[in-house]
Homo-oligomer: A and B are copies of this chain.
Amino acid sequence: MNEKGQVRDVYDAVADPTRRKLLRLLADVEELPLNELTVHFQMGRTAVSKHLAILKEAGLVTNRKVGRETRYRLNATPLKEIKDWVSFYEGFWKERIAKLNLLLEEKK
């Protein structure tokens, strides 16, 4: 457990393409049960469930039981950490593009 109450690093949670796809699926609806999420993947239910557990550890999804199904819901808030981190580097690639444009100008 880290200082943000997350068991899992959010960068780590988001590193896997399956998990990014899960977030994307949950972005389109209020909530979805495990079995409906599983439909979108080739892997079995157990694997998808594990990925969701990791996302939950990072605080990126919440879940609640409704009857016999467990419904998952997106919580994008922890992504703010990544946003802030990457913002620091934004200047670097813009600078790079500016330099490239300058070179193109000189060529002309």
Contacts and interface: CB of A to CB of B under 8 A. Distances in A.
A89 B23 contact: yes
A77 interface: yes
Copies per complex? 2
B92 A80 contact: no
Interface residues of A, number: 27
| Dominant secondary structure at the A interface | helix
Interface stretch (A13-21, A36-44, A45-53): A13-21
Given A15-B12, A74-B92, A82 B82 contact: yes
A89 B27 contact: yes
A96 interface: yes
A30 interface: no
